[in-house]
Amino acid sequence: MEIIHSPDEMAAWAKAQAAAGGGIALVPTMGCFHDAHLSLMRCARRQAGKVVVSLFVNPLQFGPSEDFAAYPRNFAEDCRMAAGEGVDAVFAPDPAEMYPKGFQTVVSVKDITRHLCGASRPGHFDGVATVLVKLFHLTRADCAVFGEKDYQQLVVIRRLTADLNMDIEIIGHPTVREADGLAMSSRNLYLEEGDRESALSLYRSIVMARKLAAGGLRDAIGLERRLREYIESFPGTEIDYVCLVDAESLEPAAAVDDRTLVALAVRIGGRVRLIDNGLVLRDG
Ligand code: PAF
């Protein structure tokens, strides 16, 4: 497996591979791999002859008071795990090379970033969109694989690539969960021992939304209220948002239908911000 740090080398490697044919699949990551990342890599492996994993904690998508400096990093182990999945190249650039002095371009997706994480993390999706446009170009990826846990991110990327006529297929991969239902996330590492039940309130409230909707509660405000009460009954939970939205536009839903998604962001123990989501009338 090649380990590439320089954007120029990445571009040269990708140019040679693209000329050879067989396709390139990209898995963009911020590292600190767990099983969900490995599933994305396996999915990428099925799509193309070459798999590139980018490993870059992108400073542009963190707000000033967010956890950029503390974000978990585990480069050597990440490379070992990627090699174990048969990844062809890991691209791990330095921030100063991705955003050299004088860098001033920002890619911004408008309406669908007004909601959910976009509302509570101003500038976050500009950072995500900007780095992804760079990564898509540098790696010449034919497709890129993203987890559905970051559902809004997936919708934003689909909008971005469609709007800019980018010749890349965006593949969403179902959320990978622990045995008890907790969505896998690098931020789970920050959870302390007593936090588990509170962290599980996210997944359990998705299950609860499905049960309540199946039982006839279809009014979005009523359903959101029940979920909030449930989450707040766990110690140390601080709700960022609990929203029922249309799965395509991300606009708030008035009543549950088969496109309604429940989206949640909850801070646990004042430190760990977790997100999760699921369609209300369908599992997945
Ligand atoms: O989901 C992530 O890990 C990041 O937002 C991404 C897509 C790698 C862009 O930095």
**Shortest-distance Cα residue to atom 5 of ligand 1:** 128
CB of 28 closer than 6 angstroms to any ligand 1 atom: yes
CB of 152 closer than 6 angstroms to any ligand 1 atom: no
Tens-of-pLDDT digits for all 284 residues of the chain?
999 999 999 999 999 999 999 999 999 999 999 999 999 999 999 999 999 999 999 999 999 999 999 999 999 999 999 999 999 999 999 999 999 999 999 999 999 999 999 999 999 999 999 999 999 999 999 999 999 999 999 999 999 999 999 999 999 999 999 999 999 999 999 999 899 999 999 999 999 999 999 999 999 999 999 999 999 999 999 999 999 999 999 999 999 999 999 999 999 999 899 999 999 998 75
- In words, the CATH class of domain 186-277 is alpha beta
Q: What is the largest CA-CA distance in the chain?
A: 57
Q: If you measure from the C-alpha of residue 29 to the centroid of ligand 1, how many angstroms do you get, rounded to a whole number?
A: 5
The answer to whether 115 and 250 have CB atoms below 8 angstroms apart is: yes
What are the angstrom distances between the C-alpha of 20 and each of 11, 15, 90?
A: 14, 9, 19
Catalytic site residue 37?
yes
pLDDT in tens, 215-229: 999 999 999 999 999
Domains 2-173 and 186-277 share a fold: no
pLDDT in tens, 9-57: 999 999 999 999 999 999 999 999 999 999 999 999 999 999 999 999 9
Which of 66, 131, 274, 275 has most ligand 1 atoms within 8 Å of CB, for mutation? Answer: 131
pLDDT at residue 282, as a whole number: 83
Domain ranges of the chain: 2-173, 186-277
Q: Alpha-carbon dihedral of residues 181, 272, 35, 21, nearest 10 degrees?
A: 120
Which amino acid appears at position 282 of this protein?
R
- Residue count of the chain: 284
- CATH number given to 2-173: 3.40.50.620
CB of 92 closer than 6 angstroms to any ligand 1 atom: no
